[in-house]
Every structure is written in C-alpha cells, then in structure tokens.
Amino acid sequence: MRKKDILELKRRFKKDDCTFTKVCGCYVNGEKYTILKFRESFLNLDDDEYFKYLEIAKKVLSGTIGNNILELNFPTNEDFSNERQISLMQLKNSQLKDDTLLDNFYKLIIDNYDCTGNFVILIFHDVYDVITKTTDNIKIDESEEVYEYVLCAICPVSLSGPGLGYFEEENKIKARIRDWVVGAPVHGFMFPAFIDRGSDVNTIMYYTKNAKDPHPELMENALGCYSKQTATIQKERFQSIIKDSFKADEKKADKIFMDIQENLNTMIDEYNSIHDNIDCEPIILTKKEIQNLLIESDVPEEITNKIEETYVESFGNDLPLAENLIDTKALKANEQRKKEENLQKQVEILENKLEEVKQETATANEIQISTEVNDDDMISEEDSEANLEDNEVNPHYDVILQVKPEKIPQIKSQIIDGKKCIVIPINDDEQTTVNGLDDII
C-alpha cells in the first residue's frame, strides 16, 4: 500500500466528490445483543448526518501505514479460495442490498470482536471511477477502471457525561439528559484494498486506532486473514528481545540496545542514500541483517545466537521493516549519553592538566630557596650562593638573603622608625649567619 493511494480515496470524502451509495449499520450493546439495524441511501441523509458519516469514513483511512493501517492477506486453500474472502466479495457485489449477507457479516464481527461496552458496526458501499493519470500526475478525462469497494468502521458507543444544560422551553438550567454517543472508529477495514490505483481482491486494508491493541482476533477470525503486528508492537517486542538477553545486567542491556539503534539507523540512512527513489522497497530485517547488526554492535557471540533464535521465533514469516524498529527516544538518549561521555572525558583531561600544573608548581617551590624581599624582586638559591661568594658579581643588590625554604613564607617587610626593614622571625633553636659571621643576631 502507498500513502498516495490512500490519500486519493480520502480526498474524495467531501460533499461534492463523495460517491457513497449506501450506509448500513448494526448497533450492539455490552451483552452483544443487536439493538438496531438500519440501511440508508447516502445521498438522502440530512447534512448533519451526512458529514458525520463522512468524518467516520475518513478516520478509517487515517494514521501511519504499518502502524495504524495494515495490509492483510488472505490465506488460500488447495482450491486457491478463502471462505471469508468470498463472503466479502458477495457483500461488495450486492451493494449492501442483501439483508442475509449483511446479517451474516454483522454476526461474524459480533462473535469475534473481543471488546466491552456498546458499539456500532457501520459499512459503506462506494463505486469510484478511477481517472487515468499521466506520469506527471496530470489527469485525463477518462476512466481507467471502476473501483468498487466496501468500507467498514467499528465505533464505540458511550453514555455522554453528566452536566447541566439550558432548557429553552422551560427557561431553566437543570440536569441535561444523558444519551448514547457514537465515537470515532477504533477499528475498521476496506475491501478490496486500493493498491497502485487499482483493486486488489487478495488484500484488505485494516485500520486500528490504537497501534498497541490491533485486535488480531478480528483479522484472523472475522476477516479470515493472517494477522499482522503493528510497528509499535514490533518495536516493543524487538526491544524486549535485546534487553531480556542480558538478564539482570540492565545497564549493559541499555547500552547495547542504544548501540544497536544507532547502527540500525545508520543502515537505513545508507540504504536510502543509495536508493533515493521514494518507491524503492524498504529494508526487511532478515536473520542475516540481524546477525550483522549485532556483530557491529559488539554483542558477545553467545548472546548473538540467543537473540537470533528468539527473533525468528517471535516474528516468524512476518519479519519487520528496519524502519519500524527505530526507537527515536533511544536514539536521542544515546546522543545525549555520548555528549555527556565526551564532556566527562574533557573534564578528566582538564583535571589531569591542572594536577600536572600543581605538581610542577610544588616542585618549583621546593627547589626555590631564596627570594628578594623587595616589592617585585626575588632571587633563586643558586643566585644567592653566588652572590655570597662575590658580591661584585651582582652589585645591584645591597641585601642578599639565604634562608631555608620553610622560612620564606615568614619573611615580612615592615616600617620601623620610618625605615623599611626586613623582618625574619628567629626561634630559640635556630642559628643564623650573616656574611660568614655566626650568631650575630
């Protein structure tokens, strides 16, 4: 199925373009008893009803292909026939005029629809003259073929909420009457499917509002088709297969799943860049593709084998499209995780550099044993020793100090009797020498 085929039909569901001939319905209560059946000529409906029915029909053609809209196929027996397919063909060909066929159809839905509460089954009949189009989508005013089909919508019917209302005749505000309201369809189908602008009697276009609850019993028992998983269910199941393979190691499972998602997304991007035609076949994730994906994601061999086996058991012949397994939230989380890891590495590098600078500074302080106690001058220990031997080497200095490194922080400059003095605290157990003379202080 293609999006443009569905949109072509959906665009016709307007007042001036709609060609529905009839709408039939069956109202069923919570105990699955039929309360009402009806059949109406569509063009004779009041405008309010007309547009409400059109709105319901449009909903059956809404949503994402592969998630809300599924392409179902009929299994065939040795005679290449299918009982459900034949009954649907008969219903379509009757143009909803045969009550027996309608009753059988209603019963089939009621008996095989697993739900609670009231619901209504609506079925529309339509005949569409498919106008020929050129390769550049210019319409030619002649019919290419006649597409005749039926469209079914299953809508919940619920009691309106309690509230107050204005009653004009009584000119009074009081509790309004609660009534049963038909909601938007939750399931439905179109038969035959409209594929490549033509009728495909071997296919049903199936609709589900909730992609997590597609009701496979309707697909299999009521419509007689192979059931299919929605993209949402496939994605959740794929995630469970990966994460369950790592058992209790949730942190490792999350990381591996994110890596697989990234590699899967890269695979799709590379495929799309090569096949830039929008009508090209999408990637089906076969067992071989899964194996390559797991190897690229550095999954251990024993876990790879386990995932492959579980994958085949879970999906069987209904292998998912690669794009259906993409978890956009996981991709975003993985991107954020990589950013945080990169920032952490940068922080570690800066911390290491800072530590190196601190060590270099500490080493420099250890080997520095002398300083000039002027406003902006300090000399090294080697310079101090050289100056003690021969003051004429550096005649610029009038006072040269040589102290142990631990004394340097204690040296202060202080004004005494109006003169700047160098003050060095001397403990009782410390010895001093000035120009070779011992203990003159």
pLDDT tens per residue, range 231-253: 999 999 998 888 888 877 778 88
Closest CA to 86 of 68, 104, 66, 69: 104
Does the global pTM surpass 0.75?
A: no
| pLDDT score at 219 | 95
Which residues, given as ranges, of the chain have pLDDT below 50?
A: 369-393
- What digits encode the pLDDT tens for the residues 355-385? 888 887 877 776 654 444 444 444 444 444 4
Please give the pLDDT value at position 139.
57
